[in-house]
Structures are given as C-alpha cells and as structure tokens.
Amino acid sequence: MKLNGLILTLPNELKVLIGAFVIVLSIGFYTGLLFVGETSSANPNGIEEQYLGNENDEDAEVMHFKKSDQEMLTLVHNHILSMSIIFFLLGILVAITKLNKKLKLFLMIEPFLSVLLTFGGLYLLWCGHLWMKYIVMISGILMTLTFTLSAFIVLKQLLQNNK
C-alpha cells in the first residue's frame, strides 16, 4: 500500500474530519502550553520550583511546595500515556502526507523521544537530578516544534487538491 501522498486523495468528508481533529487537538495542546507557562514561568528555574518547591526562598512571590510521590507518578503516568496517543494519531496522519521520507520519519518518531525525555526528565529532576531541568526544557521545545510542524503539514495538505 502506498501511503506517501494518500492524504491528497481522501474524500472531502474525511479531510474535513481530519482537519477538525487536528485543529481541536492543537487547541488542546497549546492550551496545555499556556498552563506550563503560567505554572513554571517557562524557564529552567521555574520548572525546578514547580516540582521541587521554593519554600526556602523568602522573597518568592508565589510559594510552591515539592510535589508528593503520588502527584509526580500521576503527572508522569497521565502525560506519557496521553501524549503517546496524541503523537501516535498525529504520526498516522503525517504518514499519509506527501513528504520527504527522512523528514516524515523524524516527525513521526521524534515526539516519542521528547515525551520520554520531558516527563521522565521531570521525574528525574524531582528525584534530585537538577541538571535535568535543561533536558526537560529542550525536549519540551523540540516536542512543541515537532507538533507544530506536523499539524501545519497535515492541515496544509488537507487543503490541497489532488493533482
């Protein structure tokens, strides 16, 4: 079965369904990023404070306490499961786009690595490996860029006519 470019030949009803899915998925994804920005100041030290607390900082504007075992396991579990489903579905859509094979493979596989590094990194940060905050930040940025590019490519190709 030839997958490369299959998205261009889909019936309009299916294209509309896929387009609606990718748009709503993107709204959910970027809303999550807004939440991250609000809770961690979107910087390595903010990430550290969010999970390890800042109760020793008397000048802190907002007091944060170290997350409990249960909170961390719930966060890591929920995010790894949900993000893997999100990127699996988006990866299937990328698989049927007309795209260079290497770029397509990168867009399909990289998010899974970023999910593991981001949320596994948060757990390791919480365990005391403070340098992981940089890995979390970099992998989170890469995951966001990959999501954005994948969603853009799918939406753009949905709007193209089969030639």
pLDDT tens figures, 99-147:
999 999 999 999 999 999 999 999 999 999 999 999 999 999 999 999 9
Q: Which domain holds residue 114?
A: 69-163
41 within a domain of the structure (yes/no): no
30 within a domain of the structure (yes/no): no
pLDDT at 51: 86
The answer on pLDDT for 27 being more than 80 is yes
For residue 119, which of 73, 151, 64, 85 has the smallest C-alpha distance? 73
111 within a domain of the structure (yes/no): yes
128 within a domain of the structure (yes/no): yes
Contact 117, 6 (CB under 8 A): no
**How many structural domains is the chain composed of?**
1
The answer on pLDDT for 38 being more than 90 is no
Q: What is the mean pLDDT of residues 63-70?
A: 86
60 within a domain of the structure (yes/no): no
Q: What percent of the chain has pLDDT over 70?
A: 96
Least confident stretch, 49-53, 58-62, 63-67, 143-147: 58-62
pLDDT at 53: 82
Contact 93, 18 (CB under 8 A): yes
Q: What is the mean pLDDT of residues 43-53?
A: 83
> Which residues make beta-bridge pairs with 53?
65
* Residue count of the chain: 163
4 within a domain of the structure (yes/no): no
The one-letter code for the residue type at 50 is: Q
At residue 65 the predicted structure's pLDDT band, cuts being 50, 70 and 90, is confident
48 within a domain of the structure (yes/no): no
Contact 36, 50 (CB under 8 A): no
51 within a domain of the structure (yes/no): no
The answer on pLDDT for 24 being more than 80 is yes
Average confidence score pLDDT of the chain: 91
Contacts of 23 (CB under 8 A, 6+ apart): 155
